Structure 1
Amino acid sequence: MTDLVLYTNPMSRGRIVRWMLEEAGAEYRTEILEYGTTMKAPAYLAVNPMGKVPAIRHGDTVVTECAAICAYLADAFPQANLAPALKDRGSYYRWLFFAAGPLEAAIADRTLGVEVPADKQPMVGYGTYAHVMDALEKAVSDGRPYIAGDSFTAADVYIGSHISWGIQFGTMETRPAFEAYWKRLESRPAHLRATELDDADMPKQA
């Protein structure tokens, strides 16, 4: 039995972590949790009191929140080269946590129809949805193939997932730079493996 466990549901952000695990070449087992039942049961609340997925347990270490899990796995499996050298991690950390903060918040507010008044924009952290989209577009079209430079990293797993879902579900506007960036990522073998595994765990239609 492996000491690395992924707690997930195939209709969740757990797909991000599955992709990251496959990129890391990690051996892990999967526990599929259901919304409203096993996800809120005492056994899982002991892992994540928020009662949401994904989460991982690696030995005695529990990590929740997708960006944190991606960063953790990159460090836990250094042989996969999914994080730059420490001296080169400025852009890596910047964009990994940009996606976890401003990008997620801006997309959520837009999807819910929340429009921040102009005089309150400094309070929300991201300013405006347009500012976030413009910053992300510049980041993925500055001449580098990946978000943090010339090498694929955990930040690409996280940013790429958001862009892919945003385009697919219409929660982000489609821009040529976003499409071109995702095109560089979507055929990665680890992503294809992860997608196949998650799709196999999807509920079967009656």
Structure 2
Amino acid sequence: MSEELVFYTNPMSRGRIVRWMLEEVGQPYRTEVLDYDKMKAPAYLAINPMGKVPAIAHGDTVVTEAAAICAYLADAFPQAGLAPPPGDRARGPYYRWLFFAAGPVEAAVTNKSMGFEVPEERRRMAGYGCLADVINALETALDGREYLAGDRFSAADLYVGAQMAWGLQFGTIEKRPAFEAYAARLINRPAAVRAREIDDALMAAPEAVSA
């Protein structure tokens, strides 16, 4: 695809996950940095009616939600090798853990951060059950594996690793040796380092726009 790739973000948001993905993809993109008080403006609501970042526009295609953006970019630019090819059995765990992080992990960690715990008698009503089950499932996924889907890094690792690194840093995910080793290995990838440097520079000089 040759259409312009535009990235809508704020350096203090989940957009940092998508920045990392864009740096892994290696395609040219233009960044639109939005202040939080501008995200409900009509111009941006036309991009994302939720008035939240991140979002991307790839030509006429708009994608929101960080996990969906990662999955889209992996398929739109297969030469980057960030998703198992169609028909590969590794596609199963790739989807499984990518969306496990977007669903149960995100919900469980957010609830913990807000001081909410699902009552034991109602856990069947919650998609994630309880935080302990989510954390144990993540540890099982990493048992004896370097990557979550096959033998190479994928967008699933990027998304899970970003969530895990954030949770370990701020105490919303329990520190376990498997988690710390996995997160440390991933966040030291060259693309992850570049992405952090770009967003950290934007935080220091918010008026700047990187391309």
Task: Judge same fold: TM > 0.5, yes or no.
Answer: yes
1:21 matched to which residue of 2? 22
One of 85, 91, 94 as aligned partner of 1:92:
94
Instruction: List runs of 5+ in structure 1 lacking aligned partners.
Output: none
Offset, 1:63: 0.1
* 8 Å contact kept, 1:2–1:28: no
2:111 matched to which residue of 1? 109
Offset, 1:86: 2.0
Tell me the amino acid that sits aligned with residue 114 of structure 2.
L
Counterparts of 1:1-206 in structure 2, within 5 Å, are 3-36=4-37, 38-87=38-87, 88=89, 89-141=91-143, 143-204=144-205
Offset, 1:113: 1.0
Matched residue count? 203
Offset, 1:186: 1.6
**Cα distance between partner residues in 2 of 1:166 and 1:2:** 35
**Cα distance between partner residues in 1 of 2:35 and 2:49:** 15
**Cα distance between partner residues in 2 of 1:65 and 1:186:** 21
Instruction: Could you list the structure 1 runs, at least 4 aligned residues long, displaced by more than 2 angstroms after superposition.
Output: none
**Cα distance between partner residues in 2 of 1:115 and 1:19:** 31
Offset, 1:126: 0.7
* 8 Å contact kept, 1:5–1:56: yes
* 8 Å contact kept, 1:4–1:27: yes
Instruction: List runs of 5+ in structure 2 lacking aligned partners.
Output: 207-211
**Cα distance between partner residues in 2 of 1:187 and 1:112:** 30
- SS of residue matched to 1:57: strand
**Cα distance between partner residues in 2 of 1:73 and 1:96:** 13
* 8 Å contact kept, 1:140–1:177: yes
Offset, 1:107: 0.4
**Cα distance between partner residues in 2 of 1:162 and 1:79:** 25
Q: Deviations over 1:101-155 (max 9, x none)?
A: 00001101111111111111011111110000000011122x2211112110001
- SS of residue matched to 1:10: coil
